[in-house]
Amino acid sequence: MEKINKYEANRLTMAIISSAAEGALASYVLEVEKEYEVSMRPLEIVDRSCRYFGSSYMGRKTGTKDTIGITHKPPIVVDAANSIYLFPTAASSRPQCSWISHQYIEDYKSTGEAETQVTFSNQKSLILPVSIHSFENQLYRTAQLRAVISSRVENEKRIFTQMMYSRSQGETFRA
């Protein structure tokens, strides 16, 4: 596993897991084909990633509230263009909070009262300290956020396409 100091979530990021490395809070990052130990807390990685794509964690958190009304453990869209949607396994202020990418979840099952085993699309699995109920709730909230954002993006594309078609036909476009 490669050790690095900084990291931004990208379209290959599957999970950002909280871990205590050498006594300090750090992260274990699972990508489709690589794994990293990062000397940043998961929330620092999430905020850095949001900033990389032009916002901040707080901005994305507010966006989720305004979009689907969720304020407690909100999922966030790091970058809609790259389909990077993450959800927390606990309150983001808690040290054990990890972040999971919605698009790579293949399967999940309960392995105990407060544990869920997640299998990703590349068949790697993790056991997370979160109940199956809480995990499913986060999964569904993130699906709702993705659906709303995707619908808005598609609507904007449709309007733009209509406008461009109208212009090519010499018509005046009216929205």
The pLDDT score that the predictor gives to residue 24 is 74
Report the C-alpha gap between 130 and 135 in whole angstroms. Answer: 6
pLDDT at 173: 55
The alpha-helical segments, DSSP class H, found in the chain are 42-52, 57-68, 132-168
Please give the pLDDT value at position 1: 82
Res 160: pLDDT: 76
Domain positions in the chain are 2-168
Q: Which residue has the tokens 């205590």?
A: 20
**What's residue 98's pLDDT?**
96
What is the structure's pLDDT at 6?
Answer: 96
pLDDT of residue 113: 86
For residue range 60-73, what is the model confidence (pLDDT) as tens digits?
999 999 999 999 99
Give every residue of the chain whose pLDDT is below 50, as ranges. Answer: none
